[in-house]
A and B are shown apart, each in its own frame.
Chain A
C-alpha cells in the first residue's frame, strides 16, 4: 500500500488535469489525445496502479467489517470485479494507443 500510494500521489495530479482537459472534446480529438504515447502510458499506469491499490485497500475494509464465509466470498468477488475493470481499461488504452 505504501509503494502504490507514493506512485499514486505523484500520478494523481497529472491524471486529473490530463483527463480533465481531454473530457468534453469530440470523438476524433479524444482518440487523437489518447494516441499520444505519454498520455497512453499515464492512463495505463494510473489504471493498473490505481486498481491494484483499490484491491489491496478494499480487502482491508472487508476484513474489518465482514467475517467467515461472507468475508471470503466478498473478497474473491471484489478481486474479480477489480481485475476485470483493470483488464478492460488497459485493453482500451492499448487499442487507442496503437
Chain B
C-alpha cells in the first residue's frame, strides 16, 4: 500500500473541542431525541404505578415505594426536566414550521432560551409541588 501523506491532522472524535465547536442548534436537536426516547422509562414507571393502584393496596405499596425511593426520585426528576425540555423543543419546531426564527444567530439564541427555560420550569415545578 502506498504511503499516503496524511500530515499531522487530528481525526474524528478528537475534533470536538479545540477544532470543532458544537453548536447550540445541533446539541439542542440531539437533546430533543435523547429526552424523547428516555421518556419511555418515566412512562413505564407511571403506568406500573397506575396498574398497581388499580390492583390493590399491596401492589400499590410496592410500586409507590419504588417511585418514592431515591431511584424513583431520580427518574421522575429527570423525566420532569425531559418533559419540559422536549415540550419546549417541540414548540420550537412548530415555530420553525411557520418559517420563523430560522436565521442562524436567531436559532442559536432560541436553543439557549429553551435550555434555560427548561431548567427554570423544572426548578419552579419542584418548588410549587413541594410547597402545595
Contact = CB atoms under 8 A, between A and B. Distances in A.
Interface residues of A, number: 34
Nearest to B93: A5
Interface in A1-58: 2, 5-6, 8-9, 12, 16-17, 19-21, 23-24, 27, 30-31, 34, 43, 47, 50-51, 54, 57-58
B114 interface: no
Interface in B67-99: 67-68, 76, 80, 83-84, 87, 90-91, 93-94, 97
Given A8-B90, A9-B87, A54-B36, A47 B47 contact: yes
Contacts of B94: 2, 5-6, 9
B43 A2 contact: no
Given A23-B67, A58-B36, A91-B51, 18 more contacts: A6-B94, A8-B90, A9-B94, A12-B84, A21-B132, A23-B49, A27-B53, A27-B60, A27-B61, A47-B47, A54-B39, A54-B43, A57-B37, A61-B36, A89-B43, A89-B47, A89-B51, A95-B54
Interface of A: 2, 5-6, 8-9, 12, 16-17, 19-21, 23-24, 27, 30-31, 34, 43, 47, 50-51, 54, 57-58, 61, 82, 85, 88-89, 91-93, 95-96
